[in-house]
């Protein structure tokens, strides 16, 4: 390759986003704080340092929380449709900056430029959804058992929402949370991944400009930066009623325990071990498209990436052969070059985990079908580029039971009825995304029934990746049980209140209890 990143307009993109070589990483909306200690953002594309971001100190964190608390008092009193107007303007600003922000996502994280643009589009889409939602934060009315009484429920803002996001979706997952939280009347404090901190600073610049133009107070949107120790400031802080955390199962368990210990609320989006079931009635062309993108998109670093392909024995050889041929056509390289299909892993630690997984699966009895490996030479100087691998394996292998954040696809064989495949699919601790490829209506309905997939997402004739924002996103079991984005996911960002109004001159008690004075 040998193409420099400058040829793809990165310098201009960084300038458009207001990013410099050194960036302040602690923001209280329109204000920011200096920090002596910095994080270096290293691009996995070429191994170059993009810039530095200041790490939040305990003193800076305290200022952030105080500013957020003050902003909440103001923000919660603004009518929800007016809050939605701010979110609408934010979405419009994202439309204006979609290209540079998409490039930054691609360059800092390593996903393809098209996927970077798609991630910014997700931000725009959730803003549109939130604007409509701002006029529909509805409760219910209920009939009272007492004459002359009216009952209803309503939802009120929680307060400060703490958001901890992962490197693989460095901007979209924050937007999923914050757009909804804002229209609900909450204020947000965000800790982006330390592996993609510049994306967080860029987003903060964008929303800060919108807030300032509308005369809104500092603290509606805040940013903190650092490693897990900065995140712990939020998870242990009683002033933050809700922590939304995206990451590994290991991280999620730590967050859940810390937040539960103070009786706070957690919204957890954790690991996935997602499978596509391929039945005798599957359309093979559709199957291959869904499986390949699911397995190699974002270099296998999506929580919804396809890890397992569970194939009926009557179709196994056909799928294996077509899939192997498809993998031979994959182009690996600079993700800003739209001719390439697969970019780098996030860092060399991820590469080491990829290599260890391939070693482990062979030790446990797997057969390498499409060989992996680390790429080197011109264009691969960062050491983060690997070859997508396919392995014939067994579902009970220990390594197959775990999520490896890399482009490794395990081929598993099943016999007999679709129930056997569903049992294999469900026999892992994760429960995020799942799919079945079939033209058999009975198989599809069985897969979607209560006795079918135990995942939060279950698709028919599409892959495991690429969820739309209109539906609630999340999974069961050790995926954490959280729901973000569409449907009624907004309710987690609010507190529910039941109201009973007595408009008579008497005071009857519920359940017919008599208490006369």
Closest CA to 278 of 428, 439, 402, 441: 439
Which positions are catalytic?
A: 269, 303
| Residue pair 393/428 in contact by the 8 Å Cβ criterion | no
**Beta-carbon-side half-sphere exposure of residue 335 (alpha carbons within 13 Å):** 31
**C-beta neighbour count of 65 within 10 angstroms:** 21
Burial of 447 (0-12, 13-18, 19+ CB in 10 A): buried
Give the tokens for residue 458. Answer: 């279950």
| Residue pair 447/453 in contact by the 8 Å Cβ criterion | yes
C-alpha dihedral over 113, 117, 122, 128, to 10 degrees? Answer: 180
b/e sequence 171-180, b meaning 16+ C-beta within 10 Å: bbbbbbbbbb
| Residue pair 197/25 in contact by the 8 Å Cβ criterion | yes
| Residue pair 244/158 in contact by the 8 Å Cβ criterion | no
What kind and span of H or E run contains 194?
Answer: none
d(CA 512, CA 40): 67
Distance of CA 512 to the CA centre of its chain: 50
| Straight-line distance from the first to the last Cα atom of the chain, in angstroms, rounded to the nearest whole number | 89
Give the tokens for residue 350. Answer: 């991820």
Helices (H), 378-417: 398-401
- Give strand pairing partners of 51: 41
| Residue pair 102/117 in contact by the 8 Å Cβ criterion | yes
Residue position matching structure tokens 């996030």: 346
d(CA 170, CA 241): 23
Q: Are strands 367-370 and 242-246 parallel, antiparallel or unpaired?
A: unpaired
């Amino acid at each position: 390759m040998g193409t420099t990143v400058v040829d793809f307009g990165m310098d201009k993109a960084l300038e458009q986003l207001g990013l410099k070589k050194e960036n302040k990483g602690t923001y209280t909306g329109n204000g920011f704080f200096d920090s002596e200690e910095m994080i270096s953002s290293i691009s996995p594309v070429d191994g170059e340092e993009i810039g530095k971001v200041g790490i939040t100190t305990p003193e800076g964190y305290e200022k952030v929380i105080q500013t957020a608390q003050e902003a909440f008092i103001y923000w919660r009193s603004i009518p929800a449709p007016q809050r939605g107007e701010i979110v609408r303007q934010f979405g419009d600003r994202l439309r204006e900056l979609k290209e540079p922000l998409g490039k930054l996502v691609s360059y800092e994280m390593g996903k393809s430029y098209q996927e970077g643009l798609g991630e910014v589009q997700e931000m725009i889409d959730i803003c549109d959804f939130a604007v409509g939602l701002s006029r529909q934060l509805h409760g219910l009315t209920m009939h009272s058992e007492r004459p002359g009484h009216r009952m209803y429920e309503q939802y009120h803002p929680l307060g400060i929402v703490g958001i901890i996001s992962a490197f693989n979706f460095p901007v979209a997952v924050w937007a999923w949370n914050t757009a909804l939280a804002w229209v609900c009347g909450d204020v947000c404090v965000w800790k982006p991944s330390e592996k993609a901190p510049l994306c967080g600073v860029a987003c903060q610049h964008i929303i800060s400009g919108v807030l300032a133009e509308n005369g809104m107070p500092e603290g509606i949107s805040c940013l903190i930066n650092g490693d897990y120790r900065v995140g712990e400031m939020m998870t242990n802080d009683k002033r933050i009623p809700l922590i939304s955390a995206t990451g590994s199962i290991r991280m999620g368990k730590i967050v859940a325990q810390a937040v539960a210990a103070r009786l706070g609320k957690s919204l957890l989006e954790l690991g996935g071990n997602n499978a596509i079931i391929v039945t005798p009635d599957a359309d093979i062309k559709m199957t291959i498209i869904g499986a390949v993108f699911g397995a190699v998109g974002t270099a296998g670093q999506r929580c919804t990436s396809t890890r397992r392909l569970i194939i009926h024995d009557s179709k196994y050889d056909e799928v294996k052969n077509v899939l192997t041929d498809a993998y031979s056509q994959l182009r690996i390289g600079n993700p800003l070059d739209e001719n390439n299909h697969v970019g780098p892993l996030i860092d060399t630690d991820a590469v080491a985990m990829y290599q260890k997984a391939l070693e482990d699966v062979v030790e446990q009895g797997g057969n390498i079908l499409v060989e992996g490996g680390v790429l080197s030479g011109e264009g691969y100087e960062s050491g983060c580029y690997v070859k997508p691998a396919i392995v014939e394996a067994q579902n009970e292998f220990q390594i197959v039971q775990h999520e490896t954040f890399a482009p490794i696809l395990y081929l598993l064989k099943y016999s007999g009825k679709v129930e056997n495949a569903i049992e294999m699919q469900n026999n892992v601790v994760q429960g995020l995304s799942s799919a079945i490829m079939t033209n058999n209506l009975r198989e599809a309905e069985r897969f979607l029934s209560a006795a079918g997939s135990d995942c939060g997402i279950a698709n028919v004739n599409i892959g495991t990746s690429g969820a739309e924002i209109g539906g609630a996103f999340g999974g069961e079991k050790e995926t954490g049980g959280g729901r973000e984005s569409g449907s009624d996911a907004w309710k987690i960002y609010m507190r529910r209140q039941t109201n009973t109004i007595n408009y008579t001159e008497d005071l009857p008690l519920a359940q017919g209890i008599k208490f006369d004075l």
